[in-house]
Chain A
Amino acid sequence: MNIVVLVKQVPDSGSERKLDPSDNTVARASADNVINEMDEYAIEEALTIKEAQGGEVTVLTVGPDSATDAIRKALSMGADKAVHVSDEAIHGSDALQISAVLAAALQQLEYDLVLCGAEATDSQMSVMPALLAERLGIPQLSGARKLTVEGSTARIERQTDGGYWAVEAPLPAIVSTWDTINEPRYPSFKGIMAAKKKPVETKSLADLGVDPSTVGLAAASTKVLDFAGRPPKGEGVKVTDEGDGAQKLVDFLASQKIV
């Protein structure tokens, strides 16, 4: 079972995140960058399947040179090797363009399964499995809280409001995973040391056969016109309960015509 896990380096969702006013793209250089938290669940799932069924786990990322940190994290958890697509021309690409680059990179790899996190904490779009399934003509099994791979069939429980849908598809398929699917392992010291020797192949757009004029900010199909900080909320009212807290709360709701 050969598995490719898509990972994305994102600004830490626990720190202040900004757009860069010079070109309205995510300010990555000044950010505290980490591996997208949701991707760790996809890596864990890939490693679990590999441990049971054999095969190889390859990490694939598109991002600037600094995205190497995210790759190292995945390798230290136990992935076997990595492909890092890095090219100046990619800067400012939207989801559609990134999906074209990822699709081109996947076409150069052998895989039975592609795994990724169910969302990136920076863009929160949750569309990469749909985009890649459409581009590659493979089935989309997105939003999984459970994954079972048997023979040439993958089956997921797709999280829904108040329940799940059981969905199955033939391999190769792309699966995205929520944080309820497993508990990601921490890299061991041995894993961290071993990761330093694992192969990371860097590829440019030319290596992938992608025309650089089709990616990047200038060729994007969407454009950010402007952005602003959300206006700060006015100072709220805070009362300390001295037996009348509930009364004051209900009075407030009544003043807002809510009750």
Chain B
Amino acid sequence: MAEVLVLAELNPAGGGVRKTTLEALTAARALGEPSAVVVGAPGTAAGVKDALAEYGAATVYVAEAPEIDEYLVAPKAEVLAQLVGEKSPAAVVIPSSPEGKEIAARLAVRTGSGFLTDVTEIAADGTATQVAFAGATIVHSQVTTGTPIYTLRGNSVTPEPAPAAGAEQPVSVSVSDAAKQARVVDRVVEQKSSRPELTEASIVVSGGRGVASAENFAIIEALADSLGGAVGASRAAVDSGFYPHSFQVGQTGKTVSPQLYVAVGISGAIQHRAGMQTSKTIVAINKDPEAPIFELADFGVVGDLNTVVPAATEQITARK
């Protein structure tokens, strides 16, 4: 069976494999037998090998060197290019984070291959599905040159276990000087949160201008916590200073595709729809019955968010 390389995306500081990696391993099985590639500082692979094997990695290539994490993107692309050269895989699948897309781009140049970003599905013949123009258009594409490289959008595929050997195979790493130019000198966490990552969460509760203040975002957070979801915000809410930019959902923010998206006090401008339109189930709470968000909503409540949201939170908590 053809080998498909899957780049493992890991949580920082030994936090294990990200769900996006399990999704990528699952999607890769349509094309052949997945091999996971772990690229990072020494010791990175030890804690994640079992999870990779559980989700179908027949082989786990381990490329560890101290300088990999010291420089942005380029060293990881270099290691992958080396492996593509050695193993001639049928394809490469990478989780579609900002870094993942940049690794794919550099890998494409290095290997003379085509690449497709933010795919939501990969078929056995290599045809990928992409969602264009804020979710309005569904596109089917193929790579026609070289080793097809795909980045898989988070939450597009349900991870399914498929236990495999996970045989560890060390890869010798020598990072070139060309890949050691953009040095990461500090990693700063500004918001520590126990909530799931916005792009990975299966439930997202977002607040908009209607939430009316930064303090009042507490009711959005409380609803999100009752559902075990992540918190998002519209651009209008972010621009008004209600919530930090890194939680912005929309054309100029994150694109999310959760099982449930709850839009609270969000009118539903194209800017926002671009980031959430492909969510499976959409719920909207807004006092304006004409708000365009209701056109997208599977269930809408016309009412005051300040009464509806806390009441819903209370009832959801009571059901547990």
Contact = CB atoms under 8 A, between A and B. Distances in A.
A13 B285 CA distance: 25
A140 B114 contact: no
Interface string A215-226: 000001111111
B141 A225 contact: yes
A248 B138 CA distance: 33
Contact of A134 (B72, B98, B106, B251): B106
Contact of B74 (A14, A140, A233): A140
Size range of the interface on A?
Answer: 35 or more
B175 interface: no
Contacts of A227: 132, 137-140
A14 B271 CA distance: 7
B270 A14 contact: yes
A145 to B, nearest CB: 8
A137 B114 contact: no
Contact of A180 (B101, B189, B245, B297): B245
User: Chain B: interface secondary structure?
Assistant: mixed
A169 B198 contact: no
Nearest to B178: A137
Given A96-B114, A162-B189, A130 B315 contact: no
B88 to A, nearest CB: 17
B115 A96 contact: yes
Given A131-B106, A221-B143, A230-B137, A167 B182 contact: yes
Contact of A131 (B109, B137, B188): B109
B302 to A, nearest CB: 5
A228 B139 CA distance: 7
Contacts of A131: 105-106, 108-109
A161 to B, nearest CB: 6
Interface stretch (B24-32, B46-54, B60-68, B304-312): B304-312
B73 A140 contact: yes
Contacts of A245: 285, 301-303, 307-308, 311
A109 interface: no
A143 B259 CA distance: 28
User: Chain A: interface secondary structure?
Assistant: mixed
Max chain B C-beta neighbours (<10 A), residue from A14, A130, A139, A179: A130
A236 B131 CA distance: 22
B300 interface: yes
A19 to B, nearest CB: 6
Interface stretch (A48-56, A74-82, A85-93, A249-257): A249-257
Given A166-B184, A227-B138, A130 B106 contact: yes
A22 interface: no
Contacts of B260: 253, 256, 258
Contacts of B199: 161
Interface in A192-249: 220-230, 233, 236-241, 245-249
A133 B74 CA distance: 9
Max chain B C-beta neighbours (<10 A), residue from A24, A238, A249: A249
A248 B319 CA distance: 14
A225 B142 contact: yes
A163 B255 CA distance: 18
A230 B135 contact: yes
Contacts of B116: 222
A166 B188 CA distance: 8
B302 A238 contact: yes
Contacts of A239: 299-302
A238 B299 CA distance: 6
Interface stretch (A1-9, A65-73, A121-129): A121-129
Interface string B185-212: 1111111110001110001000000000
Interface of B: 72-74, 77, 98, 101-106, 108-110, 113-118, 127, 131-146, 178, 181-193, 197-199, 203, 227, 245-246, 251-252, 255, 259-260, 270-271, 274, 277, 281-283, 285, 289, 294, 296-304, 307-309, 311-312, 314-316, 319
Given A143-B98, A236-B297, A256-B281, 12 more contacts: A130-B105, A130-B106, A134-B109, A142-B73, A158-B72, A221-B113, A226-B139, A230-B277, A236-B282, A246-B307, A252-B283, A258-B259
